[in-house]
């Protein structure tokens, strides 16, 4: 163990004097390893439509709930919340992209300094607990990877090669296979590196963007994932397995470019941010079920709101403070308005037109209609009771929680 780790444990022990989050977490991780799986896009309909016998066993013998996920119902917001055990109001991550007030531009959330609270990996690191973060997406590793002892993603394998005895071969992010390969890598880590006590796996929702729950292709994918999870349990029977998702998925029929709409209606705005937009455009073309609207000047508020509310497919237009309060968002990182779509409608940039009818096969997320997901807690010896898990971001929050520690 490194001197720094020993030092932090000692400091932790002195400060807490024998009864606090530090010692509680150390007790948990000494007793058992913890596997966290963030199954991207794994809505309940997908679970119910597929043969997943191991997850059924987890449901029966552990905790199983449908819980709210965080809004906007996009990956980064939920992944960062799960990986820190906090809401966006605390961690600052309100989308896959954000409006940078300094540069006055839309930017991708890729800079780790945007995350304002310590991740589970940092907390583990400070206690001398080894962790691993396996993700299909580079952006996850960029923001969260710093304190993880092992990281893995298709785009970052070259940098990490020396750490992996047999570097796994990873397909690209637009495939089902990359998920299997990530699971294989997790299995090998559990087998060969028992000193790694916390393993966080983040899969891709590409299959759910592509296929409805009733499609054979997605059923094969989910059954295969189920057997991989069963395999992890076989390899590490001591380990707690915690699973949740970031959002579910729905077919969408129409898209609005709200910037264009506002310009056309002579109520122009400064910029509209689609929090779902990321570098993986094949998934959803950067369109999602909610949007942040930034005004040119505050006196435009009433007229812009009227324009937005006049659109077919807009469920609600919340002010900054209403949205921050309702969805636990950080007010300084959202627009003057948050626009919420109905179940059929998405928002984003449409290359010069205000409206587009979407293909019959188009599936996406981001609205309140995708903000509920399954949550499983299995074989977790010291986990709190089911009532604790009121949202997906609490999946692993208890591991380092003061309240949990004081209860034990």
Choose which of 12, 26, 37, 40 interacts with Zn ion (CB under 5 A). 40
Q: How far is CA 56 from CA 47, 62, 191, 242, in A?
A: 9, 10, 24, 14
Binding mask 130-169 for Zn ion (x = CB under 5 A): ----------------------------------------
Coil/strand/helix, residue 84: helix
Give 129-197 as a DSSP string: -EEEEEES-HHHHHHHGGG-SEEE-TTTHHHHGGG-SSPPP---SSSSHHHHHHHHHHHHHHHH-TTEE
Find the residue with minimal CB distance to Zn ion.
75
**What sections of 193-293 are H helices per DSSP?**
206-210, 216-235, 258-264, 281-284
Using the contact rule CB under 5 A, the part of the chain among 34-42, 227-235, 319-327, 353-361 near Zn ion is 34-42
Q: How many whole angstroms separate alpha carbon 385 and alpha carbon 387? A: 5
# chain residues binding Zn ion, by CB under 5 A: 5
Q: How many CB atoms lie within 10 A of CB 60?
A: 9
Work out whether 205 is an interface residue with Zn ion (CB under 5 A).
yes
Nearer to Zn ion, 307 or 392 (CB): 392
CB of 285 to Zn ion, least distance (A): 15
Q: How many whole angstroms separate alpha carbon 401 and alpha carbon 22? A: 9
Nearer to Zn ion, 42 or 337 (CB): 42
Work out whether 75 is an interface residue with Zn ion (CB under 5 A).
yes
Work out whether 370 is an interface residue with Zn ion (CB under 5 A).
no
CB of 79 to Zn ion, least distance (A): 8
Using the contact rule CB under 5 A, the part of the chain among 178-186, 201-209, 311-319, 394-402 near Zn ion is 201-209
Residues in the chain: 408
Coil/strand/helix, residue 156: coil
Nearer to Zn ion, 122 or 276 (CB): 276
For residue 187, report the phi and psi dihedrals to the nearest 5 degrees: -60, -45
Find the binding residues for Zn ion in span 287-316 (CB under 5 A). Answer: none
Nearer to Zn ion, 127 or 222 (CB): 222
Find the binding residues for Zn ion in span 215-274 (CB under 5 A). Answer: 246
CB of 168 to Zn ion, least distance (A): 22
Nearer to Zn ion, 50 or 69 (CB): 69
CB of 204 to Zn ion, least distance (A): 8
Q: How far is CA 328 from CA 15, 86, 140, 210, 236, in A?
A: 30, 10, 21, 30, 36
CB of 147 to Zn ion, least distance (A): 23
Nearer to Zn ion, 23 or 373 (CB): 373
Nearer to Zn ion, 197 or 284 (CB): 284
Count Cβ atoms within 10 A of the Cβ of residue 104 and give its class: 0-12 exposed, 13-18 middle, 19 or more buried: exposed
129, 25 contact by CB (below 8 A) = yes
| Partner residues linked to 108 by β-bridges | 97
Q: How many whole angstroms separate alpha carbon 135 and alpha carbon 156? A: 10
Q: How many whole angstroms separate alpha carbon 348 and alpha carbon 336? A: 17
Using the contact rule CB under 5 A, the part of the chain among 3-11, 32-40, 55-63, 129-137 near Zn ion is 32-40
Using the contact rule CB under 5 A, the part of the chain among 70-78, 133-141, 159-167, 379-387 near Zn ion is 70-78
Using the contact rule CB under 5 A, the part of the chain among 122-130, 164-172, 205-213, 253-261 near Zn ion is 205-213
| Sign of the dihedral through C-alpha 72, 360, 373, 216 | negative
369's tokens? 């209609």
Nearer to Zn ion, 77 or 196 (CB): 77
Q: How far is CA 147 from CA 26, 142, 346, in A?
A: 17, 11, 36
Nearer to Zn ion, 55 or 73 (CB): 73
CB of 246 to Zn ion, least distance (A): 4
Instruction: Name the residues that contact Zn ion, by CB under 5 A.
Output: 40-41, 75, 205, 246
């Amino acid at each position: 163990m490194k001197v720094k780790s020993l030092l932090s444990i000692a400091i932790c022990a002195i400060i807490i004097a024998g009864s606090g989050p530090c010692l509680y977490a150390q007790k948990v991780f000494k007793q058992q390893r913890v596997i966290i799986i963030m199954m991207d896009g794994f809505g309940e309909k997908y679970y119910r439509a597929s043969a997943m016998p191991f997850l059924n066993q987890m449901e029966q013998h552990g905790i199983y709930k449908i819980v709210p996920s965080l809004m906007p119902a996009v990956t980064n917001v939920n992944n960062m919340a799960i990986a820190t055990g906090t809401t966006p109001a605390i961690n600052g991550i309100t989308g896959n992209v954000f409006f940078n007030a300094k540069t006055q531009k839309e930017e991708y959330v890729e800079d780790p300094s945007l995350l304002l609270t310590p991740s589970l990996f940092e907390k583990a690191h400070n206690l001398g607990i080894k962790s691993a973060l396996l993700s299909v997406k580079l952006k996850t590793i960029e923001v969260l990877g710093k304190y993880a002892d092992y990281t893995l993603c298709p785009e970052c394998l070259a940098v990490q090669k020396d750490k992996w005895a047999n570097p796994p071969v990873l397909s690209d992010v637009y495939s089902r296979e990359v998920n299997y390969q990530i699971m294989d890598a997790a299995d090998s880590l559990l087998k060969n590196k028992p000193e790694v006590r916390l393993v966080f796996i983040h899969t891709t929702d590409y299959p759910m963007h592509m296929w409805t729950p009733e499609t054979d292709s997605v059923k094969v994918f989910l059954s295969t994932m189920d057997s991989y999870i069963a395999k992890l349990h076989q390899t590490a029977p001591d380990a707690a397995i915690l699973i949740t998702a970031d959002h579910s998925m729905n077919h969408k029929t129409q898209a609005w470019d709200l910037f264009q709409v506002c310009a056309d209606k002579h109520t122009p705005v400064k910029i509209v941010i689609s929090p779902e937009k990321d570098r993986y455009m094949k998934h959803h073309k950067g369109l999602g079920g909610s949007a942040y609207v930034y005004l040119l000047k505050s006196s435009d508020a009433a007229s812009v709101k009227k324009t937005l509310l006049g659109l077919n497919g807009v469920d609600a237009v919340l002010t900054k403070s209403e949205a921050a309060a309702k969805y636990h968002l950080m007010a300084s990182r959202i627009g003057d308005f948050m626009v919420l779509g109905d179940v059929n409608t998405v928002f984003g940039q449409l290359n010069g037109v205000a409206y587009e009818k979407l293909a019959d096969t188009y599936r996406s997320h981001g609205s309140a209609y995708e903000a509920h997901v399954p949550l499983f807690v299995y074989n977790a010896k010291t986990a709190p009771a089911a009532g604790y898990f009121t949202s997906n971001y609490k999946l692993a929050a208890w591991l380092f929680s003061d309240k949990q520690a004081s209860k034990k």
